[in-house]
Amino acid sequence: MRSFSNFYILIGKINQYLTQKLASKGLGIDRLKTKEQILALIRKLHPIQCEHNLIRIGPIGDGGYLVPDDLNGIIACFSPGVGNVSEFEIQCSQLGMEIFLADASVDRPDNIPSSFHFTKKFIGPGTQDEYLSLDDWVSESGIDSTGDILLQMDIEGYEYLSLINISDKLLKRCRVIVIEFHDLQKMWEKDMFEFYSWSFKKLLKNHSCVHIHPNNCDGMDSRNGLQIPRMAEFTFYRNDRFTHRSYAKDFPHTLDCECVPKSPSVELPSIWYRHD
């Protein structure tokens, strides 16, 4: 049983149920965040344009991500969550990175290169039973303790918990971070907003968002005049790699692709980036 994740899911469902019930009776409105509070958080995530062009690593469609063309010298890619597609990790390997995968829900896939390292563990907020913290995972990998790494996470909603105890020391080693964030519409709920805000605040301490791409598999949440993609891929780039900064204003990027080709297209709403 995934105890950490089950707790998170249970809390989220309880909050959602109570909020809906109370709101239907005209009560408990203070449990919801205001439009202004949501916008303030979104503005902090407005993508920054850097001097490096964004390139696509991975396949056309789901599993491919846009990252700054500044990958030389990154010694390893840590990618928790193992799916059917591993083109992202294969291309990172071709760029000279050592590849580390982790997922307790599957055995080592037969289709991944023998050079890839696989750990049959879930990545979570701490090391316990079938869970392994990000810090312990990297520490136990045996790689150079000072080299830059790339972190890519698509772990179906458990990314928030996995960020809880990640150390500043490890975050500073991550030159590029790619995370697919799930259930973003829950930021309307007071408790979840605080949880999400904390996660983003931690990431933004040493990094800036450079790209957002909504996943079209789950559509858009629209309320109070705001559109929030329920699921979106975020790319963060470490601040010391910038030589100048300006806001990215053109979305979608020419290299963006729909994650699910047969589903309706979803574009990033204008409130998520600067367009003035």
In this prediction, residue 9 carries a pLDDT of: 54
Amino acid at 138: V
Q: Which residues on neighbouring strands pair with residue 207, listed in sequence order?
A: 238
User: For the segment 220-231, what is each residue's pLDDT rounded down to a tens digit?
Assistant: 999 999 999 999
Residue 126 has pLDDT above 70, yes or no: yes
With beta carbons less than 8 A apart as the criterion, state whether 230 and 221 touch.
yes
Average pLDDT for 101-128 = 93
Local structure of 239: helix, strand or coil: helix
Q: Give per-residue pLDDT as tens, 39-56.
A: 999 999 999 999 999 999
Give the integer Cα–Cα distance in Å for 103 and 23: 39
State both tokens at 4: 């950490």
Cα–Cα distance measured from residue 57 to residue 68, given in angstroms and rounded to the nearest whole number: 10
How crowded is residue 191: how many other Cβ atoms within 10 Å of its Cβ?
Answer: 15
Q: Which CATH class is domain 34-272?
A: alpha beta
Residue-wise pLDDT for 144-175, tens only, equals 999 999 999 998 888 998 898 899 999 999 99
Of the chain, the end-to-end C-alpha distance in Å amounts to 48
CA 255, CA 211: separation in Å to the nearest integer?
11
Select from 99, 70, 72, 74 the least CA-distant residue to 87: 99
